[in-house]
């Protein structure tokens, strides 16, 4: 049995040689999470950091203006449309597409694309939580990913993962139970943490002077309602400029018609295409 606990090393743009679909699915089924070392290269990491800073100014302005500043410091939401690097990341999922398809048993879409700039102060992401309210155990509704934009270490608050809790923890564990089983998901910048959304986790405490940045795209089966209408946010007309992978993942093939004209279309022009589950 291969060791599922070690971050799997790969050259940028590739998956580690040992990370076949079977190994991926085995890790998700047993531990519920894994780290893919340097899933994206430094160039994309640098551009995502710059886009993240700009997007944070936009998100923070609205958080403050709308009276929700307290618990949201450092958090960002709905980055699709807030920087080209975020769209580029969707295209970089190619090598992982068969793995995510195997996990979901079919095509998948983006559910939400957030981010976290973790400094010494905490946000809601620092509480023990999971990101799917409906505990679905063996039926995977949602899958989290977290792309590390800085090295994640124990000192700067690497995400704490309660290994295996997606299988046996339908309700929130006590702080003690969490601490007993939680492992730090450490990794180099560019590494991708992938985890079952049924798994309990929390951002660690950042005890350094530097920010620990990440983006957190989540994925689902197309039949699950996404947290943001990505095709409408980008514009339906933008579809022609996107890759096949971006169209699928951003949900252009699983939109909701709003007129009879949109509904009555041949299969390949339908807003919700055949085969989306
Ligand atoms: O920033 C982190 O370490 C945790 C992020 C998180 O909780 C999430 O993506 O749900």
Packed helices 84-91 and 42-65: angle between N→C axes, nearest 10 degrees: 130
Helices (H), the chain: 21-30, 42-65, 84-91, 97-104, 165-168, 175-181, 230-234, 244-250, 260-263
Question: pLDDT of 187-236, one tens digit each?
Answer: 999 999 999 999 999 999 999 999 999 999 999 999 999 999 999 999 99
Q: Which has more confidence, 231 or 139?
A: 231
The pLDDT of residue 57: 97
Q: Which atom of ligand 1 is nearest to the CA of 158?
A: 3
pLDDT of 37 over the 60 cut: yes
170 with 177: CB under 8 angstroms? no
Nearest to 33 by CA among 190, 180, 145: 145
pLDDT bracket for residue 10 (50, 70, 90): low
- pLDDT on residue 8: 59
Q: Is the pLDDT reported for residue 47 higher than 50?
A: yes
* pLDDT bracket for residue 13 (50, 70, 90): low
116 sits in which H/E element: strand 109-118
Q: Does 216 sit in the ligand 1 pocket, CB within 6 Å?
A: yes
Q: How far is CA 191 from the centre of its chain?
A: 12
Contact 211, 119 (CB under 8 A): yes
Count the neighbouring beta carbons within 10 Å of the beta carbon of residue 136.
16
Indicate whether residue 144 lines ligand 1 (CB < 6 A): yes
Q: Is the CB of 116 under 6 A from ligand 1?
A: yes
Question: Is the per-residue pLDDT at 5 higher than 70?
Answer: no
182 lines ligand 1 (CB under 6 A): no
Which two tokens mark 241? 């400029």
Q: Please tell me the distance from the alpha carbon of residue 5 to that of residue 15, in angstroms, as a whole number.
A: 16
User: What's the Cα-to-Cα distance from 45 to each of 12, 186, 209, rounded to whole Å?
Assistant: 11, 17, 20
Percent of the chain topping pLDDT 70: 95
Instruction: Grade residue 259 by pLDDT with cuts at 50, 70 and 90.
Output: very high
Q: Roughly how many angstroms between the first and final C-alpha of the chain, as a whole number?
A: 33
Is the beta carbon of 197 within 6 A of some atom in ligand 1?
Answer: no
Q: Which atom of ligand 1 is nearest to the CA of 157?
A: 3
Ligand 1 atom closest to Cα of 160? 3
pLDDT at residue 4, as a whole number: 54
CATH class of 21-269: mainly beta
Q: Is 203 in the pocket of ligand 1 (CB under 6 A)?
A: yes
Query: What's residue 258's pLDDT?
Result: 95
* pLDDT at residue 133 in the model: 86
In the chain, where are the structural domains located?
21-269
Nearest to 220 by CA among 249, 199, 242: 249
User: What is the DSSP annotation of 161-201?
Assistant: EETTHHHH-SSPPPHHHHHHHEEEE-B-TT-EEEEETTS-E
Nearest atom in ligand 1 to 204's CA:
3
- Top mutation candidate among 162, 202, 218 for ligand 1, by most atoms within 8 Å of CB: 202
- What is the predicted pLDDT for the residue at 1? 39
Mean pLDDT value across residues 98-106: 97
Picking from 61-70, 87-96, 133-142, which range would have the lowest pLDDT averaged per residue?
133-142
Cα angle value 100/104/24 (rounded, 5°): 45
What is the mean predicted confidence (pLDDT) over 50-67?
97
DSSP one-letter code for 228: S
Using most ligand atoms within 8 A of CB, pick from 75, 116, 132 the residue to mutate for ligand 1.
116
pLDDT value of residue 6: 60
What's the CA-to-centroid distance between 244 and ligand 1, angstroms? 28
**74-92 pLDDT tens trace:** 999 999 999 999 999 999 9
**Helices (H) and strands (E) in the chain — how many of each?**
9, 9
The proportion of the chain whose per-residue pLDDT surpasses 90, expressed as a percent, equals: 86
């Amino acid at each position: 049995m291969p060791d599922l606990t070690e971050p799997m090393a790969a050259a940028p743009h590739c998956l580690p040689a040992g990370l076949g679909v079977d190994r991926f699915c085995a890790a998700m089924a047993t531990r519920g999470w894994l780290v893919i070392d340097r899933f994206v290269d430094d160039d994309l990491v640098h551009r995502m950091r710059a886009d993240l800073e700009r997007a944070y100014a936009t998100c923070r302005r609205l958080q403050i203006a709308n009276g929700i500043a307290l618990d949201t410091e450092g958090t960002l939401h709905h980055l699709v449309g807030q920087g080209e690097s975020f769209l580029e990341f969707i295209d970089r999922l190619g090598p992982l597409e068969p793995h995510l398809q195997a996990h979901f048993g079919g095509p998948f879409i983006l559910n939400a694309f957030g981010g976290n700039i973790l400094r010494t102060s905490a946000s809601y992401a620092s509480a023990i939580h999971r990101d799917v309210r409906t505990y679905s155990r063996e039926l995977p509704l949602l899958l989290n990913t977290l792309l590390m934009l800085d090295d994640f270490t124990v000192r700067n608050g690497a995400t704490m993962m309660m290994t295996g809790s997606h299988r046996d923890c339908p309700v929130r564990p006590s702080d003690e139970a969490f601490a007993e089983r939680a492992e730090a998901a450490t990794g180099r910048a560019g590494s991708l943490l992938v985890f079952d959304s049924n798994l309990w986790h929390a951002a660690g405490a950042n005890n350094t002077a530097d920010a620990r940045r990440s983006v957190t795209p989540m994925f689902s089966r197309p039949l699950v309602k996404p947290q943001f209408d990505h095709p409408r946010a980008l514009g339906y007309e933008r579809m022609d400029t996107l890759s096949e992978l971006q169209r699928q993942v951003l949900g252009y093939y699983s939109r909701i018609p709003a007129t009879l004209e949109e509904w009555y279309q041949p299969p390949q022009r339908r807003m919700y295409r055949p085969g989306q589950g």
